[in-house]
């Protein structure tokens, strides 16, 4: 079930209402049942009789159930073996990690791995027949795999295992976070399932406001920007530099608003029922460096990678070369986690390279900034750093969105094309020609929009981006959520702002049921 669907508008109030009406002891059952329904609804709504064999779905359900059961049992076994042989607990730990990872590999990476081996074999003139595994990839597999692995490692490190199978299942399947996070630690979430939440008006309305802001980012900004990005990235050879650049920026706004929008809706949804999920974003496009950006972007994934890979590898407390190696490993794992495609690996490598490059050049840059006096104008310096970080991230984002690595390279190599004519026309102030230049020949649409709709849609996108950016800046400066600041204002200011938000959602939203980008990861 998509958050931005009518089904969810019916589903959520029903779940919340029944949740508060039920006696405390029954609530986990209700949440588990509705989470299973939420998860299964993806397949129910997309199932077309005769197109996909039913056993594909049975395999899919069994895979999820097996992850839950295996990790539930393994955690108990680890806990028991801790008092006895430590070798046994290590073996259990290994099984507990490899089992979900193995399933993740089969479902998500097997075909990619096979194709890559086949390409290498072809290069060396060897015969390696490519076999494609026709299976349905479970929604949110990367997320619940990481949930289960973190749980097993935490138990190995001394956390108590969850003995209640229902509660543990709920930890894996809890519907606000099952498909695209946040990646919650068992130690944070499981105790909340045992708490008795009462209806709290303030908390409830605060959750609603967070959801509204998430929906604003998703349906007003991301889904509108997606139209441009999809049009150009799906056919980059049909477009010149200016369009490619517009599409790159559209995508970079889309991906943030889409994913952070999703996270806000997820956190807000959980908050309605009294659960606290971790914030996944902290205004990354106001970061002053790439390392700062990665502390603010997809926070729960980065924290996971830090705690379960980076630190065990030695983190920063190793030789300098080894530390840099660890950084690169983290980025590569992050790239592979995002998807079975070279584009993600290149995207992650680029970000890793940025990070390393900034380490290598730190002293030189500091000296240079002092030399030209940038440090004497800290505000300008900060703005410049934010802009540079944003542009670098946008550049890497080309590979994140490109359908293939060769598309990505094509786009990069053509970003500068077609400007000669454009500059000449602008210089001549020939408006008619400029209009012609901006209309791609023989297409009834313009950057994905019907031609008459293009300018109104662009004006809407520009305005809403300004609103969003303004909110981000206010929150960055005040260091607290805007909704808390608003709640301190007089009632008429509050209502005017709420009205504006509702107006934007109802009258400027794109209601095309577009999937969230991170659903496919």
Partner 1 sequence: MIKLVVKTIICVILMAATMALIWVIPGTHPHDLAALLNKKEMLIVKPSPRMILVGGSSVLSMKSELISKELRYNVIDMSSWGGMGTFEILEEIKPYLKPADVVLVTMEYGTILDKKFYEYIHTNDEAKKFLFLMSPGRHILDSLKKREFFNLFKLMHELVQMKTKSFLLKIVTLNFSHLFDIGFPGFKDEFTVNGDRNRPYMVFRPLGDSKTNFSNPDWEKLSFLNDFNDFAAKRHARVLFYFSHFPENKYKENETYIEAYYQMMKKNFKGTIINKPGDFIYPEEYFADTIYHLNEKGESVRTPEMVKMLKKAL
Nearer to partner 1, 355 or 460 (CB): 460
Q: Which residue has the tokens 């895979």?
A: 63
Specify the DSSP class assigned to residue 446. Answer: E
Rounded-to-5 percentages of helix, strand, coil across the chain: 75, 0, 25
Q: Is 338 a catalytic residue?
A: yes
Q: Is there binding between residue 453 and partner 1 (CB under 8 A)?
A: yes
CA 28 from chain centre, in angstroms, equals 27
Q: Is there binding between residue 26 and partner 1 (CB under 8 A)?
A: no
CB 486 within 8 A of CB 208: no
Specify the DSSP class assigned to residue 334. Answer: H
Nearer to partner 1, 455 or 493 (CB): 455
Q: Is there binding between residue 202 and partner 1 (CB under 8 A)?
A: no
Catalytic one of 298, 338, 414, 416:
338
Distance CA 85, CA 461 (A): 61
Nearer to partner 1, 135 or 467 (CB): 467
Q: Is there binding between residue 463 and partner 1 (CB under 8 A)?
A: yes
Residues 479-508 that bind partner 1 (CB under 8 A): 498-499, 502-503, 506-508
The stretch among 167-175, 201-209, 384-392, 410-418 that binds partner 1 (CB under 8 A) is 201-209
Q: Is there binding between residue 457 and partner 1 (CB under 8 A)?
A: yes
Smallest separation (angstroms) from partner 1 to the CB of 489: 16
Among 123, 201, 491, 492, binds partner 1 (CB under 8 A): 201
Q: Is there binding between residue 98 and partner 1 (CB under 8 A)?
A: no
Smallest separation (angstroms) from partner 1 to the CB of 227: 13
Q: Is there binding between residue 165 and partner 1 (CB under 8 A)?
A: no
Among 10, 33, 58, 455, binds partner 1 (CB under 8 A): 455
Q: Is there binding between residue 318 and partner 1 (CB under 8 A)?
A: no
Identify the three-state secondary structure at position 279: coil
Q: Is there binding between residue 136 and partner 1 (CB under 8 A)?
A: no
Nearer to partner 1, 362 or 430 (CB): 430
Distances 329 to 75, 298, 310, 400, 411 between C-alpha atoms, Å: 27, 17, 8, 18, 27
Identify the three-state secondary structure at position 450: strand
Could you count the other beta carbons within 10 Å of the beta carbon of residue 277?
A: 23
Burial of residue 361, with CB atoms counted within 10 A of its CB: 0-12 exposed, 13-18 middle, 19 or more buried: exposed
Smallest separation (angstroms) from partner 1 to the CB of 458: 8
CB 139 within 8 A of CB 107: no
CB 213 within 8 A of CB 194: no
Distance CA 391, CA 238 (A): 24
Distances 58 to 40, 55, 135, 460 between C-alpha atoms, Å: 11, 5, 11, 45
Among 5, 52, 116, 205, binds partner 1 (CB under 8 A): 205
Nearer to partner 1, 2 or 172 (CB): 2
Among 86, 198, 441, 488, binds partner 1 (CB under 8 A): 441
Distances 304 to 15, 150, 164, 461 between C-alpha atoms, Å: 30, 8, 24, 34
Smallest separation (angstroms) from partner 1 to the CB of 495: 9
Nearer to partner 1, 325 or 498 (CB): 498
The stretch among 105-113, 306-314, 323-331, 455-463 that binds partner 1 (CB under 8 A) is 455-463
Nearer to partner 1, 102 or 456 (CB): 456
What are residue 471's phi and psi, to 5 degrees? -60, -40
Q: Is there binding between residue 431 and partner 1 (CB under 8 A)?
A: no
Distances 279 to 282, 295, 514 between C-alpha atoms, Å: 8, 12, 23
Among 318, 459, 493, 496, binds partner 1 (CB under 8 A): 459
Q: Is there binding between residue 62 and partner 1 (CB under 8 A)?
A: no
The stretch among 152-160, 297-305, 452-460, 475-483 that binds partner 1 (CB under 8 A) is 452-460
Helix axes of 378-401 and 241-272: crossing angle, nearest 10 degrees? 90
Contact residues toward partner 1 (CB under 8 A) are: 199, 201, 204-205, 441-442, 450-453, 455-457, 459-460, 462-463, 498-499, 502-503, 506-509
Catalytic positions, please?
338
């Amino acid at each position: 079930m998509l958050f931005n669907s009518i089904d969810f508008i019916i589903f959520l109030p029903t779940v919340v209402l029944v949740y508060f009406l039920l006696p405390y002891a029954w609530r986990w059952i209700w949440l588990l049942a509705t989470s299973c329904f939420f998860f299964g609804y993806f397949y129910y709504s997309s199932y077309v009789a005769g197109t996909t064999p039913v056993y594909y779905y049975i395999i899919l359900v069994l895979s999820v159930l097996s992850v839950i059961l295996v990790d539930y049992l393994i955690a108990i076994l680890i806990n028991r073996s801790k008092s006895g042989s430590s070798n046994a607990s290590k073996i259990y730990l290994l099984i507990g990690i490899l089992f979900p990872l193995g399933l993740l590999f089969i479902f998500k990476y097997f075909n990619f791995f096979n194709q890559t081996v086949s390409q290498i074999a072809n290069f060396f003139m060897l015969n390696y027949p490519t076999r494609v595994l026709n299976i349905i990839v479970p929604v949110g597999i990367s997320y619940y795999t990481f949930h289960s692995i973190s749980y097993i490692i935490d138990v190995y490190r001394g956390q108590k295992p969850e003995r209640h199978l229902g509660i543990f299942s709920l930890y894996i399947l809890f519907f606000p976070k099952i498909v695209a996070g946040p990646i919650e630690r068992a130690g944070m979430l499981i105790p909340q399932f045992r708490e008795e939440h009462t209806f709290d008006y303030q908390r409830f309305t605060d959750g609603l406001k967070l959801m509204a802001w998430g929906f604003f980012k998703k349906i007003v900004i991301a889904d509108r920007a997606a139209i441009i990005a999809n049009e150009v990235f799906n056919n980059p050879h049909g477009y010149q530099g200016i369009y490619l650049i517009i599409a790159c920026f559209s995508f970079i706004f889309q991906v943030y608003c889409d994913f952070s929008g999703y996270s806000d809706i997820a956190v807000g949804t959980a908050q309605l029922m009294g659960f606290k999920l971790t914030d996944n974003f902290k205004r990354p496009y106001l970061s002053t460096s790439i390392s700062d950006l990665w502390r603010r972007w997809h926070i729960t994934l980065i924290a996971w990678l830090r705690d379960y890979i980076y630190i065990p590898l030695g983190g920063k407390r190793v030789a300098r070369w080894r530390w840099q190696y660890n950084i690169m490993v983290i980025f590569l794992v992050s790239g592979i986690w995002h998807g079975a495609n070279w584009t993600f690996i290149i995207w992650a490598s680029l970000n890793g390279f940025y990070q390393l490059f900034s380490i290598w050049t730190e002293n030189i840059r500091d000296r240079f900034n002092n030399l030209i006096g940038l440090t004497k104008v800290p505000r300008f310096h900060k703005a410049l750093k934010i802009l540079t970080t944003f542009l670098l991230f946008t550049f890497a984002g080309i590979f994140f969105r490109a359908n293939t690595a060769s598309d990505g390279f094509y786009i990069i190599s053509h970003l500068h094309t077609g400007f000669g004519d454009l500059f000449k026309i602008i210089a001549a102030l020939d408006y008619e020609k400029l209009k012609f230049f901006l209309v791609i020949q023989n297409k009834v649409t313009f950057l994905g929009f019907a031609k008459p709709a293009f300018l109104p849609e662009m004006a809407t996108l520009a305005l809403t981006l300004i609103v969003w950016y303004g909110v981000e800046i206010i929150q960055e400066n005040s260091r607290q959520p805007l909704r808390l600041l608003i709640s301190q204002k007089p009632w008429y200011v509050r209502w005017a702002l709420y009205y504006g938000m509702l107006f934007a959602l109802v009258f400027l939203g794109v209601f095309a049921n577009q999937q969230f980008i991170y659903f496919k990861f």
